[in-house]
Amino acid sequence: MFRGSDQREEASVTSTIWQLRSGIRDMLEAAYRFILVLIKKYPFIRTTYTIFSWISLIVFIVSLFVVPDSRKMLVQYLWSFYVLIQFWVLCRSKTLPWKPVALFVLSGVLFVVPFTALTMNGLHAIFGGRTNDTWSVAVMTPIFEELWKLLPLGAFLLFSRRASALSLGDYALIGGATGVGFQLMEELSRRWVNSGGFSDKFGYSFTIFGGETIHWDFFSLFPGRFEESILPSMMTVGHPVITAMIALAIGIAHRLRPKLSMAVYLFPMIFLAWGILDHAAYNGQNRLPEWILTIHEWTGSGYRTRSAFLLMLAAAVSADYWALNKIRRKLPSLPGELPLNPFSELWNMTAALFRDRGRFVHWLGFYRERRELGFILLYGNSEAAGRGDPVRERMQAFYRIVAGLALLLLTAGLFAGMSVYAAGGQDSACFACLFDSLQNWWDRLEWYEQGAIVLGALALSLLFVGFWPALGIAMTVWGVAGSGHEIAGYIRDPKKLLTPENAAAVLVGIAISRIPFGRAFAWAGKKGAGYWRKLLDRIGFRKPGKPEVPVPVKPKPDVPGPDRTPDGPEKPDDKPNEKPNEKPGGDKPDHDKPDDDKPDEKPDGDRDDGTTAFDRSDYREVEIVDSKNSPIGEFDQVDMEKKIFYEDKSAEGLHRVNPKTGLPAQTPQEFADKQILGKTRTRIHNLMNNAATTRPKATGTPEVPTLDEIRTIRDFVFRLDGDTPALRTAVENSMNQLRTEFPDYTFNATFGGKP
């Protein structure tokens, strides 16, 4: 009887909490959508925000020169960022991306610190006393600081739809990020308050009797510990470690709750008490009762806290991967991959980071999305399960790329010895790829993003050198990042530097890239090269010379041939059964013969100088070639008026079944990955990196745009003759991957037309 009553009461409380939670979340989401609509409706809001951001950045950079407190703020920010990176690397089973982690740091700065200060001020307003009283600094402050630092985690667990599918690594990372934000603000306040000649000489945390009390060491794990440097007897590890330890204990209790009773929540209560004890003992040295300090000695006087957290984190990460391996068959695996583990993931990501930045993003995204999908399948409730399909789609997009990279690495490993023996000095080529990737990344950035990076390099350089050397470093960053392809070309082929003109060009290019606005001068010169060339041709200063790359020369119009008319270019082949080298038999129709009775008239489109004016919206079959005059790609149609590449793809017979296998020759997705994704990716890469010039194909228009002209085009339109729901879905998946890899380009498709 009583059990049924308790169950009804528990169900009523759960329903009330659910309604409150859903109501607040719906209200916040409605406000968020309203703000997005408002920004879209009034673009000046975004413009105003951008202007404000730039002004703020400029003011901050100027303040680094004239305001010492700004430099202190930057130093403390870099230290806190370093601690956060350590948590990011160690919490290997995390599923949270960087953006929400950064929001937890901000919550520690903007919410926890003010709320803690408001709480303590309220207590003093009610009970009186001073802020340095023992009950305030050594009792109430540690209790409320450790409690309030858990509020962002509590809010996330209450309102987030993915809260039930968090990994244990996520709990530790959330706690550590909140603690980083809290300590950032606390230490920054200390740096600002403790100013003067004494602190400038010895440090903001130096005391006469205790020496250095706050330690920021680059080679320390979780720097920022509180410990006297003269005869230390106790310490506290700092806010990030304590909060991460308590949050991880909450995650472990939540994971074990279905298997154990509610008593399991005593586990995080123990670690909360341990964190408060460490904090209180350090704040109240020589002022707290002896029994409290004795208990603190039993727990290691603060020197065991970090070790306990690391053991908990190692066990938590191991448990996360143990759980993922239970459902490994439901998750995609890479070729030759061992059981899911953090070590192989970290190795692949580290190798990709130093070899190719673009690949690093793919590895990072695939592993994180796979872990998120795994924990949704393991622990997700109905809300978290609703996120499964989007996560699965993103993971599959990463998987196709990463699986191909992994297979390529395995194949390359088999022939590694042979390739090293045959290539001898190919290390420079791989080194050159770094510069290619660097410029590809740099070119994808907006102008304001490039400017922010250069200004950031200037600001950081000013911490170590003077203004003019710092300016030189910043301009060097700009010049190297923007000249990656040129540098890579000289690394691959050092013989280019042997000719005097190339060596001089390199020296001039380096000089231009080092001076302010030098890159702008180079860009203007490149854009104006065509106009200067035409001007020199007209005034007779330039003599026609042999082009650097041989291109097919169009026969003169007045030379008749087997497939030509006396009046103009080639006509379509009216007799497809005749071979190209055979002379067609029979007389030509009368309308193909020149009419001697009519006066000479210029055909439509002819210019006064005898050349033909081609429609710039209909260049067909434009081929790009490399420096050896070898074809490396072609474009079916180039519209220079609208700046569009048109690519025709035939999907006929896509679902035709092979009688031997009983399966289609290829699925729509295989077709799209090969024809849309693979070929377009290769074509863009060759166009921007390997192409030397353009030339017309025999079956295309006799004139084609120049290489510089087509390199300015950023729009692709794929025209497919098939039209089925499966084909549309497959093509859209491939175009989404292209949009991810080439954010500066746009990709669209039309269906049902004849290529």
The pLDDT tens digits for 323-333 are: 999 998 888 88
SS3 633: strand
Provide the pLDDT for residue 54.
87
Assess whether pLDDT exceeds 50 at residue 547.
no
Same domain, 155 and 253: yes
Count CB-CB contacts under 10 A for residue 468. Answer: 8
Instruction: Give the whole-angstrom CA distance, residue 349 versus residue 364.
Output: 6
In a domain, residue 23? The reply is no
In this structure, what DSSP letter does residue 664 have?
B
Half-sphere exposure of 180 (CA within 13 A, CB side): 27
Q: Check whether 680 has a pLDDT greater than 60.
A: yes
Domain housing 77: 68-321
What is the separation, in whole angstroms, between the first and last Cα of the chain?
76
Q: Are residues 249 and 381 in the same domain?
A: no
344 & 289 share domain: no
Same domain? For 235 and 355 the reply is no
Q: Which two tokens stand for residue 678?
A: 């693979």
Residue 9 DSSP label = H
Burial (0-12, 13-18, 19+ Cβ within 10 Å), 677: buried
Whether pLDDT at 252 is above 80: yes
Decide if 504 is inside a domain.
yes
- Percent share of the chain, pLDDT over 70: 65
Q: Token digits for 636? A: 């079916």
Helix, strand, coil fractions of the chain, as percent rounded to 5 = 65, 10, 30
Instruction: Read off the pLDDT of residues 621-644 as tens digits, 9 standing for 90 and up.
Output: 899 998 888 889 889 899 988 889
- What CATH number should be reported for the domain holding residue 714? 3.40.1350
Give the confidence band of 577 by pLDDT, cuts at 50, 70, 90.
very low
Query: Residue 149's closest CA among 37, 276, 239?
Result: 239
CA atoms within 13 A on the CB side of 506: 17
Could you write out the DSSP letters of every residue in 355-394?
H-HHHHHHHHHHHHHHHHHHHHHHH--HHHHTTHHHHHHH
Question: By three-state DSSP, how is residue 648 classified?
Answer: strand
Per the model's pLDDT, the better-predicted residue between 335 and 326 turns out to be: 326
Q: How confident is the model at residue 509 (pLDDT cuts 50, 70, 90)?
A: low
Give residue 604's pLDDT.
44
Q: How far apart are CA 185 and CA 180, in angstroms?
A: 9
| pLDDT given at position 239 | 93
| Residue 228: alpha-carbon gap to chain centroid | 42
How far apart are alpha carbons 139 and 283 in whole angstroms?
9
pLDDT over 80 (residue 385): no
243-252, 335-344, 495-504: which has the minimum mean pLDDT?
A: 495-504
Confidence bin at 699 (pLDDT 50/70/90): confident
Higher pLDDT, 146 or 736: 146
Please identify which residue in the block is written with the tokens 């059964």. 577
Q: Output 408 or 40, whichever has higher pLDDT.
A: 40
Domain end, chosen from 305, 321, 337, is at: 321
Q: What is the pLDDT of residue 590?
A: 41
**Which of 14-28, 101-115, 450-464, 572-586 has the least mean pLDDT?**
572-586
Q: Cβ contacts of residue 726 below 8 Å, gap of 6+? A: 667, 668
Domain boundary among 514, 534, 565: 514
- Longest distance between any two alpha carbons in the chain, whole Å: 124
Regarding predicted confidence, which is higher, 725 or 184? 184
* Structure token digits, residue 533: 């060339």
Structure confidence at residue 642 (pLDDT): 86
Given this model, what pLDDT does residue 145 score?
A: 93
What residue type is 375 in one-letter code? F
- Asked if 291 and 366 sit in the same domain, the reply is no
Length of the chain: 755
Distance CA 305, CA 278 (A): 8
In a domain, 534, yes or no: no
Can you tell me the distance from the alpha carbon of 184 to that of 239, in angstroms, rounded to the nearest whole number? 10
Residue 80 — left, alpha, or beta (φ > 0 → left; ψ -120 to 50 → alpha)?
alpha
**653 is a domain residue:** yes
C-alpha–C-alpha distance, residues 607 and 196, integer Å: 80
Q: Assess if residue 367 is contained within a domain.
A: yes
| Same domain? 348 vs 473 | no
Cα 405–chain centre separation: 18
| Neighbour count for residue 9 (Cβ, 10 Å) | 10
In a domain, 562, yes or no: no
Q: What is the pLDDT of residue 419?
A: 37
Mean pLDDT over 488-499 rounds to: 53
Query: pLDDT value at position 666?
Result: 77
Asked if residue 656 has pLDDT above 90, the reply is no
Q: In this structure, are 405 and 430 located in the same domain?
A: no
Side-chain-side CA neighbours of residue 263 (13 Å): 2
**Which span out of 53-62, 142-151, 213-222, 350-359 was modeled with the highest average pLDDT?**
142-151
375 and 478 share a domain?
no
Out of 256, 288, 321, a domain closes at: 321
Asked if residue 509 lies in contact with residue 522, where contact means CB atoms within 8 angstroms, the answer is yes
Structure-block tokens of residue 557 = 């119009």
Hunting for tokens 């000013």 — which residue is that? 462
Parallel, antiparallel or unpaired: strands 644-649 and 715-720: parallel
In this structure, the strands spanning 715-720 and 746-751 are parallel
DSSP 138: I
Residue 470 pLDDT > 80:
no
Q: Are 109 and 145 a contacting pair, CB within 8 Å?
A: no
Count how many domains the chain has.
4
- pLDDT at residue 362, as a whole number: 79
DSSP 171-232: HHHHHHHHHHHHHHHHHHHHHHHS-SHHHHHH-TTEETTTEE-EE--TTSSS--EEE-SSS-
Q: What is the pLDDT of residues 287-325, one digit of tens each?
A: 888 899 999 999 999 999 999 999 999 999 999 999 999
Assessment of whether the complete model's pTM goes beyond 0.75? no
Whole-number pLDDT of residue 62: 87
- 45's CB contacts (< 8 A; 6+ apart) are 38, 39
Place of tokens 């896509």: 654
Q: Which of 377, 370, 371 is nearest to 393 (CA)?
A: 370
Tell whether 404 is covered by a domain.
yes
Q: Which helix (H) or strand (E) holds 718?
A: strand 715-720
271-284 confidence digits (pLDDT tens): 999 999 999 999 88
In a domain, 510, yes or no: yes
Grade residue 717 by pLDDT with cuts at 50, 70 and 90: very high
Q: Tell me which of 113-117, 559-563, 681-685, 707-711 is least confident.
A: 559-563
**Higher-scoring residue by pLDDT: 737, 174:** 174
Is residue 574's pLDDT more than 90?
no
Residue 675 has pLDDT above 50, yes or no: yes
Does 408 lie in the same domain as 463?
no
Task: List the beta bridge partners of residue 647.
Answer: 718
Identify the band that residue 245 occupies on the pLDDT scale cut at 50, 70 and 90: very high
The predicted pLDDT at position 72 comes to: 85
Question: Do residues 345 and 229 both lie within one domain?
Answer: no
> pLDDT category, 565, cuts 50, 70, 90?
very low
pLDDT at 104: 94
- Provide mean pLDDT across the span 387-395: 70
204 in the same domain as 126: yes
Calculate mean pLDDT across residues 9-21. Answer: 70
| Cα–Cα distance measured from residue 471 to residue 454, given in angstroms and rounded to the nearest whole number | 9
HEC profile of 219-277 = CCCCCCEEECCCCCCCEECCHHHHHHHHHHHHHHHHHHCCCCCHHHHHHHHHHHHHHHH
Q: Are strands 211-212 and 206-207 parallel, antiparallel or unpaired?
A: antiparallel
Q: Assess contact for 749 and 717: CB atoms under 8 A.
A: yes
Q: What is the pLDDT of residue 507?
A: 53
Residues 6+ apart with CB under 8 A from 375: 95, 165, 166, 167, 320, 323, 324
Q: What is the mean pLDDT of the chain?
A: 76
The answer, yes or no, to whether residue 341 has pLDDT greater than 70, is yes
What pLDDT, on the 0 to 100 scale, is given for residue 429?
38
Note whether 351 and 310 are same-domain residues: no
Q: Is 544 a residue whose pLDDT tops 50? A: no
Higher pLDDT pick, 452 / 205: 205
- Does the pLDDT of residue 8 top 80, yes or no? no
pLDDT at 479: 61
User: What pLDDT is attached to residue 276?
Assistant: 94
Handedness of CA 167, 171, 173, 178 (dihedral sign): positive
Chain centroid offset of residue 179 CA: 26
Which helix (H) or strand (E) element contains residue 60?
Answer: helix 44-66
65-83: pLDDT as tens digits: 888 888 888 888 999 999 9
